[in-house]
Amino acid sequence: MNGLLITNKDQVAREQMAAIFQQDDYQVETADSVINSLQGILDKSIQVVVLGGLFDESQIAKFVPLLKKCNRNLSIILVSDEMPLDLLRRIRKEGIFYHALKPVEGESWDEIRQVVKCAFENYQARQNAGHKLFKKSVPLQNTVDGLTSLG
């Protein structure tokens, strides 16, 4: 399941983005803030978050690391108007997947659609890498198993 959360305080913008991504066969949830959908992030039914709207500089810089602590593989896509470069650098260090400028009227959402698709692929790759890590056999355990089978 590809769970996508779209957050934006602007209801019209939320609904517009939701309509775009529902065409792409994602399980789309919308909210005016991520806090209202935090359970989906914690239980990993949400893999990608699209944050849109205006951001308070101090809040977004603290918020991104908090989301990453809830789910370290979560892909966060920031869609905004202009943003101070130093803030953008800080958020990138915290682990956002992508920053896109909000398309102006008449522009296509293709870039953001491609980014969301890539974010889901990246999420799956990170999940699979984590599963492979834990499935590796332990050499000592193999030795013990081998010795007990001899006896």
**Cα–Cα distance, 125 to 113 (Å, whole number):** 19
**Cα–Cα distance, 48 to 117 (Å, whole number):** 10
Cβ partners under 8 Å of residue 52, min gap 6: 6, 7, 8, 10, 13, 14, 17, 78, 79, 80, 102
Position 135 confidence tier, pLDDT thresholds 50, 70, 90: low
User: Which tens digits make up the pLDDT trace of 17-76?
Assistant: 899 888 888 999 998 887 777 888 888 899 999 988 777 766 788 888 888 898 888 999
77, pLDDT greater than 90: yes
140, pLDDT greater than 70: no
User: Which tens digits make up the pLDDT trace of 107-129?
Assistant: 778 899 999 999 999 988 888 87
- Could you tell me the two tokens for 106? 């008449």
**Domain residue spans of the chain:** 3-150
Q: What is the CATH number of domain 3-150?
A: 3.40.50.2300
Position 3 confidence tier, pLDDT thresholds 50, 70, 90: very high
pLDDT of residue 97: 92
Are 34 and 51 within 8 A, CB to CB? yes
pLDDT of residue 117: 94
